[in-house]
Structure 1
Amino acid sequence: MALHHPPLDGAGTRGERFVNVVTSAPDGNAFAHPAFFYRDDDEYLRGVVPFILGGRDADEPVAVAVPAPRLEQLRGAVRRAAGPDGAPVTWIDMSEAGRNPGRIIPGVLRAFADRHSRDRVRIVGEPVWPGRSPAEYPACLQHEALINLAFEGRRATIVCPYDVAGLDREILADARATHPVVVDHAGEHPSSEYAPARVLRLCNRPLPERPDIEATSFDHARIPEVRELACRRGAALGLGRVRAGDLELAVNELAANSALHGGGTGVLRIWSEDGHVVCEVRDAGLITDPLVGRRPAGLGTGGGRGVLMVNHLADLVRVHTGPEGTTVRVYMRL
């Protein structure tokens, strides 16, 4: 970590003028969602730490949700830079709280913003980092596109750092499509590629079918049976008692949704894949609300509360919905 005393003097290690991360929306009320492209540790700290400290100066609550190694870097830098008065910050390990990208909006971003509903809030949220699996990344991309919808009209600035050196070019291109503004070493730029609705359409791709896995059909009367099957099969594939119970709860919610909103019947499949137990529920329903399962408890409607619970229980959730029906795939890490 290349932060020296006195810290954050406005110049980067390469001698260029450093442009700080956006700290407020133009009128103070609108939602701001910049992507921050950083090249190294020094640039990361010099971009994010002033944004955090600025929250103290502007009397705006601040939350920082980044992977654990970055969390420790920022916590130490803020402690050194803030002086004896400190800087009140809510620190969140995104590698744990955001392991399933589907729970970040309700469980991290909205949870913090709703606790401070009278204030404009600042959030640093880093949902994409080197090491995210190919199965996780589409859910991360979908999450970034949905932030704009979930926070429309809210008084908040959510800065999303992206590691330019560690992430593929395709991921950086996706970041430009999900963020209206990009901040990098050269300054702040409106993104000409910003197209979150297009991203959401691309993320809603059919999931590969697994006809080799035995299918169990169910209706409302058979929900207890498929729930018990999920628990038993999950344990046989290696889940511990607690996680097998979590899978049982998730299947119960999904099967109930199928019975109530998916045409009355559904099909369950369970298998192991890449260190996970995977459970899939298919039915004839259509999800029309892109934020289903991503609103905090008490604000969801209909089947959304069940999907919200599934997002909180699972390590990853993938969904495809269309006129032909809906597939929800739940991943539980072994």
Structure 2
Amino acid sequence: MAKRFMIYGATGYTGKLVSKAAKQAGMSPLLAGRNEARLKGIAAQHSFDYQAISLDEPEALEAGLSQVDAVLNIAGPFSQTCKPMLDACIKTGTHYFDITGEIDVFEYCASMDAKAKEAGIMVMPGTGFDVVPSDCLAAHMKARMPDATELVLGISGFGGMSRGTAKTGIESIGQGTRIRKDGRIVRARGALAREIDFGKGLVESVAVGWGDVATAYHSTGIPNISVYFEANAQMKQMAGMGGLMRWVLSLGPMQRMLKRRIDQEPEGPDEVARETGRMELYGEASNEKGETVSSRLTTPEGYRLTAMTSLEIVARVLNDEGRAGFQTPSAVFGPDFILEFPDTSRQDL
């Protein structure tokens, strides 16, 4: 009997992109989510089966997962959806994947390693742009400098984000900027900024609490890790925000107001932006001797890449190329995994 997987959250911006890409790849996932009417419409476009399932109904969720071998969770924020879905996956023996970039979700999944191994399932959060390319770059830097004690990652090229991604960012305002220091995830003291050359000269970049603060450590063991984005005006404002303002913006009424504003924005980058956009990543590893190596990685636009990498990972695991327990992309598929996708290249500097 052919193995099958579920796309949960198929009605969102990224869910629709991944569903379309699955059809183009000749895959036949079971589409799932909360809104039956919207699911029915998307499933009809691709001749997919669908099932309305709420994460608040464990028995129904487990019944749905019992029909498949793996689930690709695309319903964010993952701080709310990961735990109930992963708990159900462990009970049903279903491989778990998602496209999160949330540090706490990665760390929660890592804490479930033993239970996942006991259940015989693979747990891999971050199978999209968060964090496949940056995780592969981190592993490449480790290979270039095995004694590295510090890793800096930089990302440039964001042309827009989905509403779900934006809302996840709103939820993390109160946490400040988190980095990895001496193996521990800590809040940075003040704004961290530096200049990074993404291929067109040095540009100002600011530190962000990106998922690699969690995953790159699990992939490489490098104890000190920070992630930077090429700075725009909004990022600079966020980086310089004081603790009191962060606290105010983390309060329920402010969170709801900010999320309502996001709902008035476009659903995400349009097709032209996805097809023409490019992402530039920078990796820099240093050791205690003061030696440094650096590399750059170029990939397709983030949402386009997410559809490609997430489906490829699911396909490989359904083909028995996975490994039980909590895993990162580079740990299972190697640092060169990202180079297998079109319009992707890496340069050692």
Q: TM-score, normalised by structure 1?
A: 0.27
Q: Greater helix percent: which structure?
A: 2
User: RCO higher in 1 or 2 (8 Å CA, sep ≥ 6)?
Assistant: 2
Structure index of larger Rg: 1
